Structure 1
Amino acid sequence: MLEDISLTVNSDSGHPVPVRAWRLAGQGGGPRVHLQAGVHADEIAGMLVLHKLLPRLEHAHADRRLRGTVTVVPQANPLGIAQFRNGHILGRFHESTSRNFNRHFIESSALQRPATTFAAWQKAIVGLAVDAQIVLDLHTDSEALPYIYVNRCFWPDARDLAGALEADVAILWDNDDDGAFEGAMVSHWLRAQQIEGRLAATVELRGQSDVSDDLADRDAQGIYAFLCGRGVIEDRRVQREWSGETIPMGHMETVFAPVSGVLVYERELGAQVAEGERIARIVARPGDPSSEHVLRAPQAGRLVTRSRDRLIAQGDVAVKLTGSKPSASWTGGVLDP
């Protein structure tokens, strides 16, 4: 039976708002799983994926093929989803505190009595997931190939997840000083010495505009197949072999916009580029040919993400690409600001 385990948090105005969550308890002692989307409320693709996946899980449960217990939170952030300003959603940052919604989870979850709505929401979300053995946090980049973030301690076991989702890249991280949701799970399990047999991953489902029935069905089927392979669901599914690229976090290169202006890409996502090769240019003052600034690859690699905004501000991320050696500009941390 599908159990409604929705919880309530306070909005910034003090009014209660729900975090919709459902749980299916299987038979057979399989792994406990937590699936969520929309921590960054402007990242929609994962919400549709879980909307598509939930009926499949219900069907498996009705057929008595569900062995584990699965919690599904399709829209995890009611604070962010309410932040519409001038026709746009401010989904990445909490307007009242200017904090990134996917940071500070470790400190918020440790508080006995959170003093802010932001911290109380984070503590509540962690409470839903902390007893799980498999945690997938669904996100999207701006424009991107499908890729995953995973702690090095879960690799290479997590190749099954990368294969099921047909990820192009798996980015391995070691230390999370920022307190992303995934990092909070890993931190808790390490403190409890319960890391064996577990997995927490941030799944980047391409770009923010990649929202369609076809893509959502494909990704929902991929997660379903992954859960079958992990013994959560009793169903024979062909496990895809993964042949993507594994890269340490410190080898990722981020190219920032040196000036504001019109952003023109000269290479497409997924392209392999040589060190020093042109990948984009910014026209700072249209009409003035001397105002064009060329962006080049800091080292040889593959274009993984890029900005979907073609009018870019100085300092914004223009491109991220893989590299075969440590980036000269990497200073630590797990995710972008």
Structure 2
Amino acid sequence: MAKDLSWHVNGDAGNRLHIGAWRFDGDGSGPRVHLQAGVHADEIAGMLVLHQLLPRLQACQDQGRLRGTVTVVPQANPFGIGQFRQGRVLGRFHEATGQNFNRGFDQSLALQRPANNFAQWQKSLAQLALDADLMLDLHTDDEALPYLYIHRRFWPEQGLALAAALQAEVVIVWDEGGDGSFEETVINHGSPRLTATIELRGQADVSDALAKQDADGLWAWLCISGVIDEVADIAEWQGDVVDMGCMETILAPCAGVLVFEIGLGDYVEEGQRFARIIGRPGDPHSEVILHAAQTGRMVTGHRERLVAQGSVVAKFTGTRLSEGYNGGPLDP
């Protein structure tokens, strides 16, 4: 049986919060794997994927076909999952501190005695993954194609099979971080053979069918990685790879009604219009046209169709360094 590694932390109000975690031990001949979802608590798709994967791992262990060790944390963030406001979960930022839930893990890990419950949660979660050979952190974007973030040291040798197994349409390769994301912290404090952040499409893309497709992809990747004693075939990867600095992030120059004129995955030429914002509906002079900064492919779009000034409208691939890129992550 899987070993229950679940633990509790105290919430912001002193309430007891639960984090479910399980470890499946194989015969020791395969790598150690850490899989988690929901660090951003409003990104649900990965939670369902890991929920579907757990019984398959249990059956594999029972049948003696598990070679590696797999740790699974399906809903990693008990703070964010409780931040319901007016019918919506606000799971990207910690309300009490304003901190992005996926930032500052390295600082919390370095603390001998974390000063608050939030930092203690970050430290405990990071410690669980530090001995992993392979670590995957499951996220989603607003509306998006399936894509991966991966450090250059892992691309393409270790990461290509993962991209193919998950049918990722885009791989974004990064070199520098400095924000203490979970992935970066595991790289800096562990000795992984591969870490990656997987963006499982958009926040609304939660269904049994999509979860099964993604769980099947993870299963195939676990097989070809020597974790499971099973033969799996994956198709050749046909997606796009782009350096993070070449990604174009388009911000809303004004508030208003957002109207996309192309769809996710479409290609654009430099200067091509792809959306407009209607600042004052009823006034045709209030329409602002948005144009592509360079030739590329639309990877993400803003989920809400009423945007605030400065909101991320869309992200595109590119082939040259973006004029707006200043280093670090794409999103705050």
TM-score category of the 2 structures, normalised to the smaller one: over 0.9
Find the aligned partners of 2:86 and 2:265 in 1 and give their Cα distance: 34
Residue identity opposite 1:265 in structure 2? F
CA displacement at 1:7 relative to structure 2: 1.1
Aligned with 1:294: secondary structure?
strand
Find the aligned partners of 2:150 and 2:169 in 1 and give their Cα distance: 14
Find the aligned partners of 2:168 and 2:273 in 1 and give their Cα distance: 26
Find the aligned partners of 1:234 and 1:132 in 2 and give their Cα distance: 19
Residue identity opposite 1:89 in structure 2? V
- CA deviation map 1:123-170 (0-9, x unaligned): 010011111111000000000000000000001120000000000011
Find the aligned partners of 1:12 and 1:212 in 2 and give their Cα distance: 32
Find the aligned partners of 1:58 and 1:334 in 2 and give their Cα distance: 36
From 299, 307, 332, give the equivalent of 2:302.
307
CA displacement at 1:15 relative to structure 2: 2.0
CA displacement at 1:14 relative to structure 2: 1.4
Matches within 5 A, 1:102-121: 102-121=102-121
Provide the identity percentage. 59
CA displacement at 1:240 relative to structure 2: 2.3
Unaligned runs of 5+ in 1: none
Asked if the contact 2:249–2:330 (Cα under 8 Å) also holds between the matched residues in 1, the reply is no
Matches within 5 A, 1:86-235: 86-157=86-157, 158-189=159-190, 194-195=191-192, 198-235=193-230
Identify the residue that residue 35 of structure 1 maps to in structure 2: 35
Identify the residue that residue 45 of structure 2 maps to in structure 1: 45
TM superposition score normalised by structure 2: 0.98
Aligned with 2:231: secondary structure?
coil
Residue identity opposite 2:220 in structure 1? A
Asked if the contact 2:259–2:305 (Cα under 8 Å) also holds between the matched residues in 1, the reply is yes
Residue identity opposite 1:332 in structure 2? G
Aligned with 2:137: secondary structure?
strand
From 253, 262, 265, give the equivalent of 2:257.
262
- Matching of residue 241 in structure 1 with residue 236 in structure 2: yes
Identify the residue that residue 60 of structure 1 maps to in structure 2: 60
Find the aligned partners of 1:283 and 1:266 in 2 and give their Cα distance: 13
TM superposition score normalised by structure 1: 0.97
Find the aligned partners of 2:151 and 2:325 in 1 and give their Cα distance: 17
Residue identity opposite 2:156 in structure 1? P
Asked if the contact 1:46–1:205 (Cα under 8 Å) also holds between the matched residues in 2, the reply is yes
Asked if the contact 2:28–2:69 (Cα under 8 Å) also holds between the matched residues in 1, the reply is no
Asked if the contact 2:259–2:277 (Cα under 8 Å) also holds between the matched residues in 1, the reply is yes
Find the aligned partners of 2:64 and 2:234 in 1 and give their Cα distance: 22
Unaligned runs of 5+ in 2: none
Q: How many residues align?
A: 331
Aligned with 1:78: secondary structure?
coil
- CA deviation map 1:240-294 (0-9, x unaligned): 2112111110000000000000000001000010000011000000000000001
Aligned with 1:203: secondary structure?
strand
CA displacement at 1:46 relative to structure 2: 0.2
Find the aligned partners of 1:327 and 1:309 in 2 and give their Cα distance: 25
- Matching of residue 318 in structure 1 with residue 332 in structure 2: no
Find the aligned partners of 2:234 and 2:111 in 1 and give their Cα distance: 41
Residue identity opposite 1:94 in structure 2? H
State the superposition RMSD in angstroms.
0.8
Find the aligned partners of 1:114 and 1:40 in 2 and give their Cα distance: 21
